[in-house]
Amino acid sequence: MSVGLLPTDISSKFPINKMAKSKISRPVKSRSYILIIMLSIGIIACSKSKSVIPEPPVKTRPTNLAQYNLVTEGLKDYYTSNEYFNLGAAIKPTTVDNPDEVKLLKRHFNSLTAENVMKWSTLQPTEGTFRFDDADKIVAFAQANGMQVRGHNLCWHNQVPDWIFKDGAATASKELVLQRLRTHINTVMTHFKGKVYAWDVVNEAIADGSDTYRASKWYGICGEDYIIEAFRAARLADPAAKLFYNDYSETNPTKRDKIYTLLNKLKGLNLVDGIGMQGHWNISAPSNELIIDAFDKYKSLGIDIQITEFDVSVYTSDSDSQSPYSTDLAQKQAVAYGRYFSLFRTYKNNISSITFWGLADNYTWLDNFPVTGRKNYPFLFDESYNPKQSYFTVINF
């Protein structure tokens, strides 16, 4: 029956034009009007009931920039925390003042790391003088936008003041150095307690060569004890925080096994919760086999895995000369990103977070390391904050 029209038999029996009005008895007219009203009410009721049925949410997965600009979803929507892992970025305090970068952060990420301003040289440049302003700015932004914060880092051989290792003109004793380490960790973690859910407690303590530990000032004065004491102080300062050991070349078999041994010792003391695999990789390495072997080795300890400083360099060697970001290079990088994220998805039950060591290609530490002044393009977003082919590869799975 056509919506809004009377049935044919009723219309033929009871035409309601002006000529017929006088011929229709009053009771018949009343029945016709009642029927019309009932039909109208039914039609309106049906239309209203249909309008309140919610449409199922649709997550579109763009494959190019034009489509990307028509949707609002980002990385954190395609890789939800519940099903996959957190997606994070390392930022500077000035990032939260840049509208373009803030827009990118809010769309794609649910975790933040302070690139430099939570390191010792910034937080406590001189003994007893703590400066939290820049770090507080990043934490406040994260809290205001429902993002988690990873703390990076509490003990490292770089960006650490020399006063820690001195007692006047002499070298400080082991006891004094460890006391300063405990004080720093307790003060910093207490300040951020309840705001920072995880910390890279010790960073890059394992040697690259045949030695077990890096020949740092920490190790020269304290031996292995500085690592144990750092984690012990962190556990006491904030028992709820997740504690990580963080390092690079974490898939290299020789270094991987040394990291595993340290983690096993810390796990036996109930002092570590996870491994921070930095993930400074490139368009050709590491291989799937090396990554899988590392994931399997670390997860066998029953600890969490996080990729903490992820970027994919377009250069495979320190001797590579600077290259423009060509279509060919973009495609190679997209293939690499696709390969790495495929592995991340496979190990989603073991990996809780992927943090990029930057936001977009306009700024990356790789522009000055390992080759000073060699422009690199390691992220999913270009210098204008637009998604690259690597982005579309990562989200279309």
Instruction: Categorize the per-residue pLDDT at 59 as very low, low, confident or very high, splitting at 50, 70 and 90.
Output: low
User: Of all residues in the chain, what percent carry a pLDDT higher than 70?
Assistant: 85
Instruction: Categorize the per-residue pLDDT at 53 as very low, low, confident or very high, splitting at 50, 70 and 90.
Output: low
Task: Supply the pLDDT for residue 26.
Answer: 43
Q: What is the pLDDT of residues 252-267, one digit of tens each?
A: 999 999 999 999 999 9
Q: Alpha-carbon distance 17 to 15, whole Å?
A: 6
Q: In 3D, which of 141, 79, 133, 83 has the Cα closest to residue 113?
A: 141
Q: Cα–Cα distances in Å, from 236 out to 195, 272, 363?
A: 16, 12, 37
Q: What is the pLDDT of residues 62-90, one digit of tens each?
A: 999 999 999 999 999 999 999 999 999 99
User: Of all residues in the chain, what percent carry a pLDDT higher than 90?
Assistant: 84
Task: Supply the pLDDT for residue 210.
Answer: 94
Q: 126-132 long-range CB contacts below 8 Å, 24 or more apart?
A: 126/161, 126/163, 127/163, 127/180, 130/187, 130/188, 130/191, 132/191
Q: What is the pLDDT of residues 362-374, one digit of tens each?
A: 999 999 999 999 9
Instruction: Categorize the per-residue pLDDT at 56 as very low, low, confident or very high, splitting at 50, 70 and 90.
Output: low
- Give yes or no for residue 163 having a pLDDT over 70: yes
Task: Supply the pLDDT for residue 60.
Answer: 85
Tell me which amino acid residue 126 is.
Answer: T
Task: For residue 310, count other CB atoms closer than 10 A to its CB.
Answer: 26
Say whether 309 is catalytic.
Answer: yes
Q: What is the pLDDT of residues 188-242, one digit of tens each?
A: 999 999 999 999 999 999 999 999 999 999 999 999 999 999 999 999 999 999 9
Instruction: Categorize the per-residue pLDDT at 25 as very low, low, confident or very high, splitting at 50, 70 and 90.
Output: very low
- Give yes or no for residue 2 having a pLDDT over 80: no
pTM: 0.85
Task: Supply the pLDDT for residue 17.
Answer: 42
Average pLDDT, the chain: 89
Distance of CA 145 to the CA centre of its chain: 14
What value does the mean pLDDT take over residues 152-164?
98
* Catalytic one of 101, 204, 229, 250: 204
Instruction: Categorize the per-residue pLDDT at 52 as very low, low, confident or very high, splitting at 50, 70 and 90.
Output: low
Question: In residues, how long is the chain?
Answer: 397
Say whether 204 is catalytic.
Answer: yes
Task: Supply the pLDDT for residue 54.
Answer: 61
Residue ranges per domain, the chain?
Answer: 8-51, 65-395
Task: Supply the pLDDT for residue 297.
Answer: 98
- Give yes or no for residue 20 having a pLDDT over 90: no
Task: Supply the pLDDT for residue 92.
Answer: 98
Fold of 65-395: TIM Barrel (3.20.20)
* Catalytic one of 115, 229, 250, 309: 309
Instruction: Categorize the per-residue pLDDT at 6 as very low, low, confident or very high, splitting at 50, 70 and 90.
Output: very low
